[in-house]
Amino acid sequence: AQSVTQPDIHITVSEGASLELRCNYSYGATPYLFWYVQSPGQGLQLLLKYFSGDTLVQGIKGFEAEFKRSQSSFNLRKPSVHWSDAAEYFCAVGPMNYGGATNKLIFGTGTLLAVQP
């Protein structure tokens, strides 16, 4: 069955420290991969996505993610965290044949990031 695992439910980092949020997926083939961020009471904002090509993708707000096929992982990183990065982060996967009308995203359970001053 298709699934997405975010092993860390809650992470606390100090402002200015580096960050890595883990995401592992289980899928029959390489899917489309996404990271979204959700601030309290808000919808989801797309941080970055991977479809093909360079396995290191750059996103908004200084985030990047690396796709590792051998590990079925798509971890999110940021070299220096800002207090405004405190939010919930969701990893999601979508099927390669994304044009089908019934295709849908599968979300991980999310990682709540707290930033200490």
Partner 1 sequence: GAVVSQHPSWVICKSGTSVKIECRSLDFQATTMFWYRQFPKQSLMLMATSNEGSKATYEQGVEKDKFLINHASLTLSTLTVTSAHPEDSSFYICSARDPRTPSYEQYFGPGTRLTVT
Distance CA 105, CA 33 (A): 9
Distance CA 69, CA 78 (A): 21
Taking CB under 8 A as the binding criterion, the range among 18-26, 42-50, 65-73, 75-83 that sits at the site for partner 1 is: 42-50
Distance CA 9, CA 100 (A): 32
Residue of 28, 53, 99, 117 that binds partner 1 (CB under 8 A): 99
The residue to which tokens 């100090």 are assigned: 14
Asked if 107 interacts with partner 1 (CB under 8 A), we say yes
Asked if 45 interacts with partner 1 (CB under 8 A), we say yes
Kindly list the residues in this chain that would bind partner 1 in the complex (CB under 8 A): 32, 36, 41-46, 49, 51, 90, 94, 98-99, 101-105, 107-110, 112
